[in-house]
Structure 1
Amino acid sequence: MTLLPHAIPLINDPQVVHALAARWRRTRTLLILSAGVLPVAIGLVCIVLAGMTSAGQRVMPWWSAIPAVAAAACAWALLSWLRRNGLSDPHSWLPATTLMTGAQLVLGVLPGSGIALRLSPGAAIAVKALCAAGVLGAGSASWLARLAHRSLLSAPILELGSTAFPLVLEGHDSRVVIGTDRVDWTTRSGGRLDVGVAFARILRVSTEANAVVLHTASGSWTVPVADPATTQALLRRRLSWWEERGVAAEERERRRYLDLVRLLAAVSGEASRGGVTVTVDSNGVTTGVSLSPAVRDLEPEVLATHLMACVDKARTDARRQVQDLVLEHAAAKASH
């Protein structure tokens, strides 16, 4: 099983993949070390400390294993979060790594060292060395997580506009965040001001001295930036990427809708009773009635009763099939 994907998530453009391949290789290596190898190593330190508590003890106290379990759980939670949700937000790598490795220290290394020193005083030097290794591992994990973020985003290039990574552009008195569907900025000159504009409102982007201008239907916003040309290029690239994703999403929804219509048209409810078989379509309209030779001996009233019962049962069957298809369609839409 691959800890982290070899390809950058949510990118299908070969040119973008090629342009960012070297960055992603460095970033992926640093992430594996910071969120995988070092947290696991800290967990192993806690396991060794737990094993040292049993030295000279006839029965290992069950509570001495709690720090090791807590440290292992933190390592598993960090890597699981990174694989599921964290890869798309590089700005969360450092806080998440610091939080989880800090929790490993507080819940695992320090209590485990204290327990080992109390139950195995003869191994004090080894316990202190393991404790220092755990602290060093936690600090190194945070440092590597910071390097991973900087390796990927520290020097923005145009191709980053075609990714789902939030782009943060720091200026002297401003901070601009280009997200996946909006741009937000903070200015500090003359008092703090936080403003944001959704991509759907932006008509075009232009530049002026030390700023980019976002033109919307309701007016223009001037955003002070350190490098207007780079910011404009990244914004235009991200806007194009956002529009392409919107068009692709609409096309997927159209195909799913057409598939649903086709499946609904093929729905057929059927029921049989007393030699009478009735079929109906997805609207409950009767499409066929079949009578077996057994109905010759039935009274007309009984035959009519069987017929109506079959119609009701067939319609219920058709409604159930329609409901299942609609719910399946809704679940597929929600997952995307």
Structure 2
Amino acid sequence: MTLIPHAIPLINDPEVVHALAARWRRTRTLLLLSAGVLPVTIGVVCVVLAVLTSAGQRIMPWWSAIPAVAAAACAWALLTWLRRNGLSDPHSWLPATTLMTGAQLVLGVLPGSGIALRLSPGAALAVKALCAAGVLGAGSACSLARLARRSLLAAPVLELGSTAFPLVLEGREARVVISTDRIDWTSRRGARVDAGVPFARIEHVTAEASTVVLHTASGSWAVPVSDPATALALLRRRLAWWEERRTAAVERERRRYDDLLQLLAAVSGESTRGGVTVTVDSNGVTTGISLSPAVRGLDPDVLAARLMACVEGARSDARRQVQDLVLEHAEKASH
């Protein structure tokens, strides 16, 4: 399994993938180094420190392995987070890498070095070199994570509007964040003001002077930006992408609903008791009654009781099938 896909994730438009391919190749390389190679290397450093600790001991103290385990756990946590959630938010790469590599230093490299120096003083030079390598690796990982984000998002291009990456536009007067379903900004004109508008409320957008104007049913919002033309183009592209995804989601839900209706229409509950068989549809309406030769000569009251019991049993069977189908549909929709 590839840790980071070779093609830019969460994109189905071939033109966008092609336009961002060069950026993604650089970003992918930097991200693999910062969140993969270097954290794993720091974990290896801690393992080597644990081995040095046991070199002069007949029996390796169990607690001397704790720093190595902690460092390896941090590296695994960072890789797991990156694979599952991290690729869609480049702005979280640096904080996540800083947190995990810092934890590796605090929980792994520094305690491991101290234990190794105490129990194996003869290997002091090697221990110091390994400690320096761990610190250097953590610092390099943070720098590469910052470069990875900049490589992908530093110079906004129009195609980024058709991705799920949050777009941050920094200016002297405001900081604007265009996410997947809304736009938020922090204005620095006079008193600090935080505001945001969901895409669902925006009717159209225009550019005026040094602002982008968001027109909604309840009024207009002026968002200060340093480059109105670029911000307007990115925002319109993101709005079109969001509308396409919303339309596609509605269409998928409609198809799932139609499929559910077809399955429900095919539901047939059945119950058999003493030669009497009753079938009902998903609404509990009786669709068939079958009587075997065994019911000949039965008292009418007994036969009526069996019929009613079969009707209730068939309806219960139909309700169970309907419930199972609805629950299965809900589970698929949640995924």
TM range (shorter): over 0.9
Shift of 1:332: 1.8
* Counterparts of 2:137 and 2:306, CA distance in 1: 77
Q: Which amino acid aligns with 2:252?
A: R
The unaligned stretches of length 5 or more in structure 1 are none
1:147-202: CA deviations, max 9, x gaps?
Answer: 10000000000000011111000111211111111111111121211111111121
What are the residue-to-residue correspondences of 1:307-326 with 2, within 5 Å?
307-326=307-326
Partner of 1:289: 289
* Counterparts of 1:241 and 1:75, CA distance in 2: 35
What are the residue-to-residue correspondences of 1:9-24 with 2, within 5 Å?
9-24=9-24
Partner of 2:62: 62
1:249 partner SS? helix
Shift of 1:91: 0.4
* Counterparts of 2:56 and 2:295, CA distance in 1: 88
Q: Which amino acid aligns with 1:300?
A: P
Shift of 1:308: 2.0
Q: Which amino acid aligns with 2:183?
A: V
Shift of 1:203: 1.6
1:146 aligns with 2:146: yes
1:56-98: CA deviations, max 9, x gaps?
Answer: 2222111111111111111111111111111111100000000
2:296 partner SS? helix
Q: Which moved more, 1:168-177 or 1:212-221?
A: 212-221
Q: Which amino acid aligns with 1:177?
A: V
How many positions carry a matched residue from both structures? 335
* Counterparts of 1:327 and 1:11, CA distance in 2: 30
1:272 aligns with 2:267: no
Q: Which moved more, 1:249-258 or 1:293-302?
A: 293-302
Partner of 2:209: 209
2:55 partner SS? coil
1:53 partner SS? helix
**TM-score normalised to the size of structure 2?**
0.97
* Counterparts of 1:304 and 1:60, CA distance in 2: 82
1:10 partner SS? coil
Q: Which amino acid aligns with 1:58?
A: R
* Counterparts of 1:159 and 1:254, CA distance in 2: 29
* Counterparts of 1:45 and 1:299, CA distance in 2: 88
* Counterparts of 1:127 and 1:292, CA distance in 2: 89
2:226 partner SS? coil
Q: Which moved more, 1:27-36 or 1:267-276?
A: 267-276
Q: Which moved more, 1:92-101 or 1:276-285?
A: 276-285
Q: Which runs of 4+ in 1 moved over 6 A?
A: none
Percent of matched pairs sharing the same residue: 82
> Judging changes above 3 Å, is the alpha-carbon distance between structure 1 residues 122 and 305 closer, same or farther for their aligned structure 2 residues?
same
* Counterparts of 1:79 and 1:236, CA distance in 2: 34
Partner of 2:100: 100
Q: Which amino acid aligns with 1:200?
A: A
Shift of 1:329: 1.4
2:4 partner SS? coil
1:2 partner SS? coil
* Counterparts of 2:297 and 2:5, CA distance in 1: 71
* Counterparts of 2:277 and 2:41, CA distance in 1: 69
The unaligned stretches of length 5 or more in structure 2 are none
Q: Which moved more, 1:119-128 or 1:307-316?
A: 307-316
Partner of 1:301: 301
* Counterparts of 2:267 and 2:172, CA distance in 1: 64
Partner of 1:38: 38
Partner of 1:256: 256
RMSD between superposed Cα atoms in Å: 1.2
Partner of 1:195: 195
1:225 aligns with 2:225: yes
